[in-house]
Structure 1
Amino acid sequence: MSSKTMKAIRLHEHGGPEVLRYEEVPVPGLKPGEVLVRAHAVGINPPDWYLRDGMQNLPPETRPKFDFPVIPGTDVSGVVEAVAPDVDGFAVGDEVFGLLRFPSFDGSTYAEYVAAPAAHLARKPAGIDHVRAAGAAMSGLTAWQFLIELGHDHPSPFQEARHRPVPLAPGATVLVNGAAGGVGHFALQLAKWQGAHVIAVGAGAQEPFLRELGADEFIDYTTVRAEEVARDVDLVIDTVGGPTSSRFFQSIKRGGSLFPVFFGEYDADEAARLQITVSGTQVRSNGAQLAELGALLDDGTVRVAIGGTFPLAQARQAHERAARGNIQGKLVLTVAGS
């Protein structure tokens, strides 16, 4: 490195996209177990704007503690610049990607350089570029931990029971609500990879995109309510969640499951009466799982859709775009000089 400072986005207060400041800050030092990554691309995710606006949509007991100023961001793809002495498995020059320190808000990836726990990184798949790798980390791992393998024993702040993915063998029917979004388009593809029959719910213009990803059926939520037409579904993965998630009870067969990605509100007695399991989890950083997902990205089994890119300095504009919704895939920040 030619300098001990770097450009980064920082928050000094909560608020709208206007509080994202592009500033000169020190390059982070390395702690044991960490590598320094020169960022090429940074993924944008809902927790980034939860942090920015003060996490008002999260239950108070689930809000992580942090101090201002803070660099937002959890997802990064880039090149290893330095390695702590105790780190094995990564070397200077390696291309890596990862979801860092989640569910804390200490990822600090909206920056030119990022100190990353080596255990949270995987080698970037050679078959995709840094933009797509950065777009895959949180959303891809969320879909993986909901549908394929939880991979940790940490309790979710949203439920007492440990989340357990359900088998998605051939013959199972999976409905993905919000299928064109970040988590949704990964969930669709992973369910197809497991052999499931997938019903994708999205806006009408998204049908060709979702069909291309493998959707067997498509429901346009702008013209019909998905829960009124879908029947005998084994699993609904609702990437929207919230107070309306239980409307899908009428679509799920007895013994089926509802997985709200953003914690859902539902009547537990009604779920028990219908023999429906409602379950969720909180995605956690996991380099080993990311390597498994990376193999699917590398051979084209799973694709990353990019809904737009913005230079790091234009993080405000990226958050403004995110607030307008209807994004097909992921938004990503690109880092100048990388």
Structure 2
Amino acid sequence: MRAVIQESFGGPEVLKVVEVAKPELLSGEVLVRVRASAVNPVDVAVRSGAFPLLGQPPFGVGWDISGVVEAAGPGARYEVGDEVYGMPFFPRAATGYAEYVATPSRQVARKPKSLSHVEAAALPLAALTAWQGLVDRAGVKAGDRVLIHRAAGGVGHLAVQIAKAHGAYVIALASAEKHEYVTGLGADEVIDYRTTDFTEAVHDVDVVFDSVADGARSLTVLKPGGVLVSILEHPNAELAETVKAAGRRFAGVSVEPDYAALEAIAELVDAGKLRPTIAETLPLAEVGKAHEIVAEARTVGKIVLTVD
């Protein structure tokens, strides 16, 4: 099968499409014929060596997949022909940019019926990050005031929709040119973080969803008992203690595979309450270009590789 492998750290040029052996199944696993795989900022950081999550190369990056079950091991939850999506193995290697991925069947879920494989592949890592932070850790509920950093980003645009689906009042931070887009996602207020200091414009927030490592300032807008959800500063023990001492709660999130959350996310999608934005679709052979686009951090929505 074809898979993207890198032999060294470096720029996008280290990513090579090569022929490797098809994975062998173990009990409880399924072999997924991948139709699409999304590219996330963490993929870029791991590839470059800035975030040496997988140790030393060689390895294959990529986690988000959507495809069709081609084979099922004993005890697996799915059957041949089932359409599934997920984020297998994270934070260990999944080699998601490939024609086939073998994964524990409880690390994937049935693909949302209303989405294509390209759209479904854009969801798992980003949507799970938002879900595990807002729903599992913060317990967001109707009437909560929720502040979301980088609301037009890959995680942020899904966080806005998930918070709204749970009845929250959403205050979004985004650059001016993205205000119309974020409002269209359901945000109740949108603030241009480039021209306005959010710590002066926002007060008495129940939940802050911080995806920019601005926890210290975000703490100042939380009401007593409020929750600071951080997806970048989750190992920051000093920040956690500061938040606790201020009478607020710290919820550091390191995303993990979760089929139950993926099923709940699929329900929101098929109910018309959640939709990923696709910025661009590229073939597997153009994986280097995909990484270049993601590294620029200027697009609205996700970059997805098609695997034909």
TM-score over 0.5 for the pair:
yes
Q: Secondary structure at the match of 2:208?
A: strand
Give the match for residue 141 of structure 1: 128
Report SS of the residue matched to 1:198: strand
Report the Cα distance in structure 1 between the residues aligned to 2:303 and 2:40, rounded to whole angstroms: 8
Q: In the TM superposition, what is the alpha-carbon distance from 1:66 to its structure 2 partner? A: 4.5
| In the alignment, structure 1 residue 211 sits paired with structure 2 residue 183 | yes
- How much does 1:249 deviate? 2.2
Give 5+ residue unaligned stretches, structure 2: none
Q: CA deviation at 1:270?
A: 4.4
Contact 2:28–2:77 (CA under 8 A) maintained in structure 1: no
Shift of 1:96: 0.9
SS in 2 for 1:327: coil
User: How many angstroms apart in 1 are the aligned matches of 2:110 and 2:99?
Assistant: 19
1:126-161 CA-to-partner distances (Å, cap 9, x unmatched) read 111101110011111111111112xxxxxxxxxxxx
1:170 corresponds to which letter in structure 2? A
Q: Distance in 2 between matches of 1:64 and 1:223?
A: 35
Q: In structure 2, what is the Cα distance between the partners aligned to 1:269 and 1:191?
A: 26
Q: TM-score, normalised by structure 1?
A: 0.85
Match of 2:295 in 1: 323
Q: Deviations over 1:105-139 (max 9, x none)?
A: x2111011111211111111111110111001111
Alignment-mate amino acid for residue 14 of structure 2: V
Aligned to 1:222: 194
**Deviations for 1:201-239, whole angstroms, at most 9, x for unmatched residues?**
111111111111110000011221222211111111011
259-268 or 91-100: bigger deviation: 259-268
Q: 1:65/1:182 Cα in 2 relative to 1: closer, same or farther (>3 Å)?
A: closer
Q: Which shifted more, 248-257 or 259-268? A: 259-268
Q: Say whether residues 1:79 and 2:49 are aligned partners.
A: no
2:305 is matched with 333
The equivalent of 2:219 in structure 1 is 249
The percent identity for this pair of structures is 41
How big is the shift at 1:268? 5.3
Residues 180 and 327, structure 1, Cα contact 8 Å, conserved in 2:
no
Partner residue, 1:155: none
Residue 44 of structure 1: aligned partner: 39
Please provide the CA RMSD for this pair: 1.8
Q: CA deviation at 1:267?
A: 4.7
Equivalenced residue count is 306
1:97 to 1:272, Cα distance in 2 relative to 1, 3 A: closer
Q: Is the 8 A contact 1:310 1:334 kept in 2?
A: yes
Match of 1:101 in 2: 89
Distance in 2 of aligned mates of 1:295 and 1:42: 21
| C-alpha contact 1:127 1:299 (8 A) present in aligned 2 | no
TM-score, L = length of structure 2: 0.93
Question: How far is 1:89 from its partner?
Answer: 3.1
Deviation at 1:273, TM superposition (A): 4.5
CA distances 1:247-304 after superposition (whole Å, capped 9, x unpaired): 1222222221211111165655643453222221211111222111111111211111
Q: Specify the alignment match of 1:111 in structure 2.
A: 98
The 2-side partners of 1:25 and 1:167 are apart by 43
The one-letter amino acid paired with 1:254 is P
